[in-house]
Amino acid sequence: MADTPAPVIDKDALKQRYAEEREKRIRADGNDQYQELKGQFAHYAGDPYTAFTERDPVTDHVTFAFVGGGFAGLVTGARLKEAGIDDVRLIEKGGDFGGTWYWNRYPGAQCDTASMIYMPLLEETGHMPSEKYAHGPEIRQHCVRIAKQFGLYEHALFHTEVEQIRWDDDGKVWEIATNRGDRFTASFVGMGTGPLHVPKLPGIPGIENFRGHSFHTSRWDYDYTGGDADGAPMTKLADKRVAIIGTGATSVQCVPHLARACKRLYVFQRTPSSVDVRDNRPIDPDWFGEIATPGWQDRWLENFTANQGGLTMEDDWVMDGWTEISRRVRTKIMQLPPGDMTIEKMMAVYEDSDFEKMEEIRRRAEAVVNDPGTAEKLKAWYRQLCKRPCFHDDYLLAFNEPATVLVDTDGKGVERITETGVVAGGNEYEVDCIIYASGFEVGTEWTRRSGFDLQGRDGLKLSGHWSKGMRTLHGVHVHGFPNAFFVQPTQGANLISNVPHNLTEAGRSIGMIVAEALKRGAQEVEVTAEAEQKWIEMLLTAPDRLIGGPDCTPGYYNNEGQPRGPEDKLNFVGYPAGALAYFKYLKEWRNSGEFKGLEFR
């Protein structure tokens, strides 16, 4: 693609098309169009992977309790263990460690960010990723590897959901209650519940009436489909008509596998994803041996982050679709005359670059898909960062398979589900199975998604403290909630192209802070109200984010296209100077040993 001549672009026509396509998809019900997996839909949320085992409730005390056994919990737990804290308890609703990689075992599940920077603690564990973009089973195994190496299984509680966390100011401990009857205390707590862990179903009329088989992609039913998460073919689908609803990043990865396995596959599309080149390849052990010298992963992380933002031209080691976005914009900006280096001019350059990129992606659909009508419907008409960019070499090809039928709904979505099939555009498609690739809750409150409200000092509820938007220092520390730490990207680096980097840095800080508290004999460590307020004021000077702007087609990046209150900026803002500057700042902050803004008592 890079060698083909740049297309002639009619920017006004494109802008108008983008606006029309957006208009088709805007709905008044926003996030409420989806339904929760509760009540009659609760069975969609079960765990198909690990048998539930009875156990006695725990009633002990641990130094550190962490909610969530995904990357956030694992990297924080590892740093705490390194800091000499032995009794670290991870509490996890799944049957093992892995978080998103525990649940998402759909065929073809694969990381969209290069393994060298995506998979945490590679250097510490000595693991060499097998591919540039590792597949799900390898990443899940890596989670187990981290947990084993750092002794995190010892105190872990699986198939356990936290129901309450309350600060006891007399005892200076957190009291934790779970749905398994556990009632224990912890000196410190961490929250790593993840951004995309509550699956949702589309609110399609009649969904409850379907008599065939159905499941959500994050609870893949291999008993029904045959095959397994490691890639064994889904032989039981050979005589099945299957509908998959949704064409986001998940669907893009599993459709090629379904297309090969099903008798008939109907792909129900409301909005096409932009699907760029993947170009995956094995990692060469000789090459890895040469580069994997002490400190290598930090250097790679820094290189990727530098290439994601900023105007400096660095060697791009990762060279993927994410760095390409920045590389293109940067190249154009560098060509601007010095007097034109204004924010407006740079934003215009960015828009031009985006038009070009999206034209290339649309032309790719034409080049790959045999049927011109189908290719046309697979074209995405919005800016690349309006929706999660996808990268895949087989997705578009799957529409050349004889079994695959694209059912494009022209932005309207599936109309209805009947006892025997799916209705779209007035036509009923009879199917044996419906697979919901309908994503996860994003725009709802943190307390709803995590399933509990944190109760801090003097009965202060987290939902109350955050009622006018999230408030933290570094996205980690919250005033009124001593000895509590949040491990997530917002109000920190907010680096969305490599989410684990946010987590590993937070984990490093937390390990050092807890060690410092124990060294000082402090019972409490808490951000001061002033430091939290100062951080918030600084964050509010950040420019509006580039992803999911208000002109974008609806999706979870922009609250389904619904306007948000002014305070909502706090729920997605990052360090104004960018991720690279944030990580540098954070390193200096913690290495100084002062932990400015925190009070140790």
- Among 123, 120, 217, which residue's Cα sits nearest to residue 499? 120
Residues 439-478 that bind ligand NDP (CB under 6 A): 439-440
CA distance 108 to 88: 33
Considering the rule CB under 6 A, would residue 194 count as an interface residue with ligand NDP? no
CB 242 within 8 A of CB 262: yes
For residue 599 the two structure tokens come to: 């009070």
CB 189 within 8 A of CB 65: yes
Considering only 68, 73, 194, 246, the residue that binds ligand NDP (CB under 6 A) is 246
User: Smallest gap, in angstroms, from Cβ of residue 389 to ligand NDP?
Assistant: 9
Conformation bin of residue 435: beta by default, left when phi > 0, alpha when psi is -120 to 50: beta
The residue (of 410 and 524) whose beta carbon lies closer to ligand NDP is: 410
The residue (of 439 and 456) whose beta carbon lies closer to ligand NDP is: 439
Provide the 8-state DSSP code for 129: P
The residue (of 120 and 202) whose beta carbon lies closer to ligand NDP is: 202
CA distance 571 to 569: 5
Applying CB under 6 A, the span of 165-173, 241-249, 459-467, 477-485 interacting with ligand NDP comes to 241-249
CA distance 269 to 406: 7
The residue (of 271 and 472) whose beta carbon lies closer to ligand NDP is: 271
CA distance 58 to 176: 10
CB 242 within 8 A of CB 254: no
Q: What mask of x and - would describe binding to ligand NDP in positions 377 to 416, judged by CB under 6 A?
A: -----------x------------------------xx--
Write out the DSSP string of 38-98: -GGGGGGGS-SSS-----PPP--EEEEEEE--SHHHHHHHHHHHHTT---EEEE-SSSSS-
Considering the rule CB under 6 A, would residue 320 count as an interface residue with ligand NDP? no
Residues linked to residue 183 through DSSP beta bridges, in sequence order: 177
Considering only 178, 214, 251, 491, the residue that binds ligand NDP (CB under 6 A) is 251
Considering the rule CB under 6 A, would residue 489 count as an interface residue with ligand NDP? no
C-beta neighbour count of 495 within 10 angstroms? 25
Conformation bin of residue 423: beta by default, left when phi > 0, alpha when psi is -120 to 50: beta
Considering the rule CB under 6 A, would residue 119 count as an interface residue with ligand NDP? no
CA distances from 117 to 185, 510, 584 (A): 35, 21, 17
The residue (of 152 and 496) whose beta carbon lies closer to ligand NDP is: 496
Q: What is the side-by-side strand order in the sheet with 416-417?
A: 416-417, 421-424, 427-430
Considering only 110, 225, 490, 494, the residue that binds ligand NDP (CB under 6 A) is 110
Considering only 247, 455, 472, 494, the residue that binds ligand NDP (CB under 6 A) is 247
User: Smallest gap, in angstroms, from Cβ of residue 250 to ligand NDP?
Assistant: 3
Q: What mask of x and - would describe binding to ligand NDP in positions 142 to 161, judged by CB under 6 A?
A: --------------------
CA distance 220 to 191: 26
Residue with tokens 């949704």, as numbered in its chain: 246
Q: What mask of x and - would describe binding to ligand NDP in positions 253 to 272, judged by CB under 6 A?
A: x--------------x-xx-
Considering only 92, 96, 112, 408, the residue that binds ligand NDP (CB under 6 A) is 112
User: Smallest gap, in angstroms, from Cβ of residue 101 to ligand NDP?
Assistant: 10
Applying CB under 6 A, the span of 8-16, 175-183, 229-237, 242-250 interacting with ligand NDP comes to 242-250
The residue (of 377 and 508) whose beta carbon lies closer to ligand NDP is: 377
Q: What mask of x and - would describe binding to ligand NDP in positions 16 to 35, judged by CB under 6 A?
A: ---------x----------
User: Smallest gap, in angstroms, from Cβ of residue 191 to ligand NDP?
Assistant: 20
User: Smallest gap, in angstroms, from Cβ of residue 459 to ligand NDP?
Assistant: 36
Burial 584-600 (b: 16+ CB within 10 A, else e): eebeebbeeeebebbee
The residue (of 439 and 480) whose beta carbon lies closer to ligand NDP is: 439
User: Smallest gap, in angstroms, from Cβ of residue 119 to ligand NDP?
Assistant: 12
Applying CB under 6 A, the span of 244-252, 291-299, 398-406, 564-572 interacting with ligand NDP comes to 244-252
The residue (of 189 and 437) whose beta carbon lies closer to ligand NDP is: 437
Write out the DSSP string of 339-385: GG-SHHHHHHHHHHHHHHHHHHHHHHHHHH-SSHHHHHHT---S-GG
Return all residues near 329 (Cβ < 8 A) that are at least 6 apart: 346, 349, 350, 353
Applying CB under 6 A, the span of 143-151, 249-257, 344-352, 516-524 interacting with ligand NDP comes to 249-257
Residues 198-237 that bind ligand NDP (CB under 6 A): 202, 204
> 3-state DSSP call for residue 598?
strand
- Size of site (CB under 6 A) for ligand NDP: 27
Residue with tokens 């599993």, as numbered in its chain: 254
CA distance 599 to 90: 26
The residue (of 245 and 512) whose beta carbon lies closer to ligand NDP is: 245
User: Smallest gap, in angstroms, from Cβ of residue 401 to ligand NDP?
Assistant: 20
The residue (of 480 and 492) whose beta carbon lies closer to ligand NDP is: 492
The residue (of 408 and 526) whose beta carbon lies closer to ligand NDP is: 408
Applying CB under 6 A, the span of 239-247, 327-335, 340-348, 568-576 interacting with ligand NDP comes to 239-247
CA distance 503 to 515: 18
Applying CB under 6 A, the span of 10-18, 160-168, 431-439, 470-478 interacting with ligand NDP comes to 431-439
- Among 58, 61, 81, which residue's Cα sits nearest to residue 148? 81
The residue (of 270 and 330) whose beta carbon lies closer to ligand NDP is: 270
User: How many CA within 13 A on the CB side of residue 262?
Assistant: 28
Q: What are the residues binding ligand NDP (CB under 6 A)? A: 25, 110-112, 196, 202, 204, 245-251, 253, 268, 270-271, 388, 413-414, 437-440, 555-556
